[in-house]
Chains A and B, each alone.
Chain A
Amino acid sequence: MVGAGIVGASCAYFLTRAGVRVTVVDRGGVASGTTGAGEGNILVSDKEPGPELDLALRSNALWRDLDEQCGGFEWEPKGGLVVAETPEVLDALTAFAGGQRAGGVAAARVAPGDLRDFEPHLADGLAGGVHYPQDAQVQPMLAAARLLRASGARLVRTAVERFLVTGDRVTGVRTGEGDLRADAVVNAAGTWAGGFAQAPLPIRPRKGFILVTQPFADPPVRHKVYTAAYVTNVASDAEGLETSGVIESTRAGTVLIGASRQRVGHDTSIDYRVLAKLARQAIGLFPVLADRQVIRAYAGLRPYSPDHLPVIGPDHRLENLFHACGHEGAGIGLAPATAEMITAQITGAGPSVEPSPFAPGRFP
């Protein structure tokens, strides 16, 4: 298993429970990449009907199981609230939610007068929203660490330099601490997953910032709250900066403020102009935040693929190599279903979700 982020940890968990012996290799240790730079979202609300939503719904159910089987990662089925600033946006949002409902998502329209029943501190003048009770959150670093620990898999902290290949078969990996032989290798290397020369994939980083407020004894935000513009940004192909307000609290009492998307390579430097936009959008949704303080900010890199679908399944060039990567900003949410799919493919079990849309060979 190359990568000890949430995807690698989940795969290790599912595989070991299926009787497979797993060694996880990561140069930065558990949750040191994108997993450690996100909010821990487990969302169905931002996904349009289709393969990713199917995967998200399966994953949502699996997360509930994982909380019972393993737990200890601040599982919070808090629900999501998507708000619309104008009646036009609300109409579009409502239509979007209608499609999702047909795909199995629980979604209920919220009248403007009822918004404050969900979020007492929400701004005036919003046109309404949609409530998604299935949306949830975990503390992603703890989730990865707990799943990895519960798997019993060995974690080796070193860099994977390349795959070991004999003919057209992968037989292991070369690491900074020597060769590791394996019957199968899973590439769960997040933003670096595309860069293995023997089996490249079109996966690139999409930078995002999170602004962290001071801790609150009683945080003013209860659900994951975001504006409808977020959904369009997630699906967008723009190169430049896009931001939309995404606000939620954590069990630790802080409020996390996102979300920005930029394609600037592996650069994780801070840009205060982007942070300022996030602050403006947060105050727009929750005016009560205006005189509260931010104490921290960080950047993370979402590993994205050209069609915004994750890359899951056997490599189309090399045998015994499997990919579990390219989850963009949805890795936490999609990890368990990804792990279940990979485990089925390695052990020969039947799939719960149709795997073909995620096949690594789909790119030209």
Chain B
Amino acid sequence: MIYDLAVVGAGPAGLTAARVAARRGLSVALLDAYAKTGGQFLRGAAQPRLTGVDVRLGRRVWAVEKSQERFEIHASETTTATTLLVATGAHDRVIPFPGWDLPGVLTAGGAQALVKGERVKPGEEVVVAGTGPFLLPVAVTLLDAGVRVKEVLEANRPSPRMAAALARVPSKAAEALGYARRLAEARVPYRTGHAVVAAHGEDSVEGVTVAKLTRDWKPYAWRTVDCDTLAVGYGFTPQADLLVQLGCRTEGDHVTVDDHQRTSVDGVLAAGEVTGVAGAAAAVVEGALAVHALIGAPPPRLLAERARLRRFARALELSYPVRDGWQHWLTPGTLVCRCEEVTVSALEEARDLGADDPRTVKLLARPGMGWCQGRMCGHAVARLTGHDPAPQKRPFAQPITLADLTLHDREDST
């Protein structure tokens, strides 16, 4: 069958879009790679009922092809639809430091996923570090799970811009205050201008080096903190692989959309973090907006709400950037690419050979060539070569077995 709408990603944006579309009488397929709906944000939480939606879980979409006026969405089987909405969210943005590949170092999102989605404590004594307001709910989630949170380290400093933005969105201000209160009650220090600049341990994390940072993140005044787990996240990177495959226009790290959530490619909509990291509330609004725009006029209320949340997200982005001073944390032996085990000195060797952009560095030294295809090291490799991180073209958004790939050896595409 050919669906009116296929939604890839069953997080806040995708769930909302699928629900609204089905209620409006569209035939809808909702696909997600994981075995449960909810995405990263709603893991384990209550979710809207999906009546009249074909929910297909455990479907790792590895490619989307446009043929005639239809989209073929390839996972373990192919789903065909006339309109495609991509709401594949984001993953933690990470930057390298000595010891970051030790077991016990988790991404902040990963630590939260373990608690919320799996009911597993990431560790007993945890340091939370990185940048961005997401560190706060992660720390609180850990506290609520009975984990001892030793410190929360925010690399950036408080910004007047952020204070002004919070004042304009009272719900966000209240949320932040709630987290702060909870941390204070539990006597968890929240230190701005601090970072974990190294993790130590034999086979697993036994401690971390914490440093004070200058405004541009040069470390000074080091000390060590014992812990068995580090949860670290420096914001998020949109997972826009399917949209990049289709040739959708991008800007910075995300895909651009218009007021109707339309990408630059006809029939392709995008909502949520793939269009720029803005959080779950914005994702819900955009998921609904995408469908309303598809079947009629977008309601002004949703447009206004989205504009407000996007402004807030922009303030966040400007207040919690990743500053290049992290490069001072590196040693020659620090791994930049975890998959291919490419060290800082190997990258420098490639640069000496004339590689002055991420692509050439990748060809010569292999960062980003391994299993994760640069998802973990993309930001670092780009910045280390003096370039701005940009979405990479990945013909396979997910690995696929050769046997499964052979199923696409056919003459026509219907």
Contacts and interface: CB of A to CB of B under 8 A. Distances in A.
Given A145-B354, A272-B65, A296 B402 contact: no
B189 interface: no
Interface string A264-284: 000000101101110110110
Interface in B359-373: 359-360, 363-364, 366, 369-371, 373
Nearest to A157: B356
Given A252-B340, A272-B63, A294 B402 contact: yes
Given A214-B399, A296-B395, A252 B369 contact: yes
B180 interface: no
A233 interface: no
A290 B402 contact: yes
Contacts of A252: 340, 366, 369
Contacts of A214: 371, 399
Contacts, number: 111
Kindly state the interface size class of chain B when it binds its partner: 35 or more
A36 B363 contact: yes
A282 B360 CA distance: 28
B395 A283 contact: no
Contacts of A294: 396, 399-402, 405
- Give the interface centre of A149, A270, A279 by most chain B CB atoms within 10 Å: A279
Interface in A267-310: 270, 272-273, 275-277, 279-280, 282-283, 289-298
Interface in B48-94: 63, 65, 74
Tell me the interface secondary structure of chain A in the complex.
mixed
Interface stretch (A27-35, A88-96, A113-121): A27-35
B355 interface: yes
B123 to A, nearest CB: 29
Interface in A27-57: 29-32, 36
A182 to B, nearest CB: 20
A31 to B, nearest CB: 6
Contacts of B403: 279, 283, 290-291
B381 to A, nearest CB: 15
B354 A295 contact: no
A296 B395 CA distance: 6
Contact of A277 (B63, B396, B400, B409): B409
The 5 closest A-B pairs by CB, nearest first: A276-B409, A293-B399, A276-B408, A145-B353, A141-B363
Interface of A: 29-32, 36, 141-142, 145-146, 148-149, 155, 157, 211, 213-215, 252, 254, 270, 272-273, 275-277, 279-280, 282-283, 289-298
